[in-house]
């Protein structure tokens, strides 16, 4: 089991860096292609669009064995990183980022199912948390590494390393991941049947609103720390590193909590912690210690809910699991984009920075409402 989970975690690390590293590379990409930083930001949108489009290709891959499907999407990921490294123009770079996003939802969707199949009885949630741990590590190590390499060499340097790493991921997947079979094929249209039920929409709601709420804060974490909390700019990187560690610990803890107390109860607890942290930021964020503490808690919640989210998406999409878990990735990325957009409105309007987490708080309450309604429909959330 462990060898297979390590292979999945390696893949999650590679996908996580590929997705998030561009946020720190925008000024370098803008300078290289002589476009504005805002225009360079379209590379982030292109990846997110790829995630959305790729999710719906899942319905055509339902007959493949799960291991073969993972090998396919990692191969696409490998090719996308090579093409990104050699991108000769900004328009080509946009197409490369779109291609890189296409297999994202498929990898995490299939990986979630495989992780649960590899796990011993009663440890499925912990197994999924181990896979997702790779993605949390990308925020701790991968993203800062990409920015550092861009400063000393080029923004392309991290994609050279990602090409090598994704080749390693491909080899470890082939050699270390056992064949876990394939999903039962009940026909093309039956994959959509789960969407007639309320439960999967509630899970998608908690994923979307939770992501939107937390990215309201995560996107503007630097000005929140410096302008609201009064932290010296030189110390922001220390807090960000601590936030990354909080994400890792919280993710692994959430797997154990989900096995012990159910994913619904675990998600509820995390969202309540997130709501409390948002309230502290809104009302007492001008106190540095409380500002830093609240931001660390929100970072912990961001990946603390990832395992319950994935588990619940699998359980509520019976008959269409591949599509369901891919839609979960779409919900997360859509929430990311909306949260960043709406969270910036108070800043654009010239309001004080504590209005930013106030917007996030609204989303977090909505996410908590979804999970509480899901808790009342336990019969629609069967145990694994």
The CATH number covering residue 363 comes to 1.20.1250.20
Mean residue pLDDT of the chain comes to 86
Note whether 218 and 163 are same-domain residues: no
What pLDDT band is residue 379 in, cutting at 50, 70 and 90? Answer: very low
Q: How many domains does the chain have?
A: 2
Note whether 18 and 140 are same-domain residues: yes
Note whether 139 and 45 are same-domain residues: yes
Q: What pLDDT does 74 receive?
A: 94
Identity of the highest mean pLDDT range in 183-197, 257-271, 274-288: 274-288
pLDDT at 274 over 90: yes
Q: What pLDDT does 362 receive?
A: 96
| CA–CA dist 112, 11 (Å, integer) | 12
pTM of the model: 0.81
| CA–CA dist 306, 328 (Å, integer) | 10
Boundary residue ending a domain (125, 151, 176) = 176
Cβ count near 188 (within 10 Å): 10
Note whether 209 and 169 are same-domain residues: no
Task: Decide if 183 is inside a domain.
Answer: no
Task: Decide if 182 is inside a domain.
Answer: no
| CA–CA dist 294, 266 (Å, integer) | 19
pLDDT tens string 287-332: 999 999 999 999 999 889 988 998 898 888 887 777 888 788 889 8
Ordered DSSP codes for 105-127: HHHHHHHHHHHHHHSPTT-HHHH
pLDDT tens string 145-162: 888 888 889 999 999 999
Q: What pLDDT does 1 receive?
A: 66
pLDDT at 382 over 80: no
Note whether 77 and 106 are same-domain residues: yes
| CA–CA dist 18, 43 (Å, integer) | 11
Task: Decide if 181 is inside a domain.
Answer: no
Note whether 217 and 244 are same-domain residues: yes
Boundary residue ending a domain (117, 142, 176) = 176
pLDDT at 165 over 80: yes
Looking at the chain, the whole-number percentage of residues with pLDDT higher than 70 is: 97
Cβ distance 135 to 12 under 8 Å?
Answer: yes
pLDDT tens string 204-233: 999 999 999 998 888 788 888 888 999 887
Task: Decide if 76 is inside a domain.
Answer: yes
Task: Decide if 225 is inside a domain.
Answer: yes
With b meaning 16 or more CB within 10 Å and e meaning fewer, what string describes 68-107?
ebbebbbebbbbbbebbbebeebeebbbbbbbbbbbbbbb
Task: Decide if 224 is inside a domain.
Answer: yes
pLDDT tens string 89-103: 999 999 999 999 989
Note whether 166 and 198 are same-domain residues: no
Task: Decide if 361 is inside a domain.
Answer: yes
Instruction: Please indicate whether residue 120 or residue 70 has the higher confidence score (pLDDT).
Output: 70
Note whether 160 and 261 are same-domain residues: no
pLDDT at 176 over 70: yes
Range(s) of the domain holding residue 16 = 2-176
Q: What pLDDT does 344 receive?
A: 83
Cβ distance 250 to 304 under 8 Å?
Answer: yes
Note whether 40 and 74 are same-domain residues: yes
Note whether 90 and 194 are same-domain residues: no
Q: What pLDDT does 301 receive?
A: 94
Note whether 68 and 172 are same-domain residues: yes
Q: What pLDDT does 378 receive?
A: 60
Note whether 23 and 78 are same-domain residues: yes
pLDDT at 265 over 80: yes
| CA–CA dist 159, 283 (Å, integer) | 42
Task: Decide if 327 is inside a domain.
Answer: yes
Mean pLDDT, to the nearest integer, of 343-369?
91
Boundary residue ending a domain (148, 176, 204) = 176
């Amino acid at each position: 089991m462990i060898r297979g989970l390590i292979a999945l975690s390696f893949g999650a690390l590679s996908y996580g860096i590929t997705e998030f590293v561009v946020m720190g590379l925008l000024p370098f990409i803008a300078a290289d292609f002589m476009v504005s930083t805002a225009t360079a930001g379209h590379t982030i949108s292109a990846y997110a669009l790829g995630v959305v489009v790729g999710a719906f290709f899942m319905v055509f891959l339902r007959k493949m064995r799960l291991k073969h499907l993972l090998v396919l999407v990692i191969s696409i990921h490998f090719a996308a990183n090579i093409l990104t490294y050699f991108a000769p123009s900004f328009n080509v770079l946009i197409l490369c980022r779109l291609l890189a996003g296409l297999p994202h939802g498929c990898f995490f969707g299939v990986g979630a199912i495989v992780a649960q199949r590899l796990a011993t009885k009663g440890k499925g949630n912990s197994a999924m948390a181990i896979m997702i741990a790779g993605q949390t590590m990308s925020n701790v190590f991968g993203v800062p590494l990409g920015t550092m390499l861009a400063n000393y060499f080029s923004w392309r340097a991290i994609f050279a390393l990602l090409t090598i790493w994704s080749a390693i991921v491909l080899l470890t997947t082939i050699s270390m991941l056992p064949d876990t079979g394939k999903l039962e094929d009940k026909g093309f249209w039956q994959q959509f049947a789960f969407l007639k039920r309320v439960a999967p929409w509630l899970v998608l709601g908690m994923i979307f609103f939770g992501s939107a709420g937390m990215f309201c804060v995560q996107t503007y974490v630097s000005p929140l720390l410096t302008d609201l909390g009064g932290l010296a700019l030189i110390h922001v990187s220390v807090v960000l590193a601590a936030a990354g560690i909080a994400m890792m610990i919280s993710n692994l803890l959430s797997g154990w909590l989900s096995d012990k107390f159910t994913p619904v109860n675990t998600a509820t607890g995390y969202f309540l912690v997130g709501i409390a942290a948002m309230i502290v930021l809104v009302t007492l964020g001008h106190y540095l210690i409380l500002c830093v503490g609240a931001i660390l808690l929100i970072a912990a919640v961001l990946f603390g809910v990832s395992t319950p989210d994935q588990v619940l998406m699998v359980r509520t999409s019976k008959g269409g699991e591949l599509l369901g878990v891919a839609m979960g990735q779409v919900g997360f990325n859509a929430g990311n984009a909306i949260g960043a957009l709406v969270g910036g409105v108070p800043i654009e309007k010239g309001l004080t920075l504590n209005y930013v987490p106030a917007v996030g708080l609204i989303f977090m309450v909505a996410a908590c409402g979804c999970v509480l309604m899901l808790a009342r429909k336990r019969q629609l959330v069967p145990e694994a």
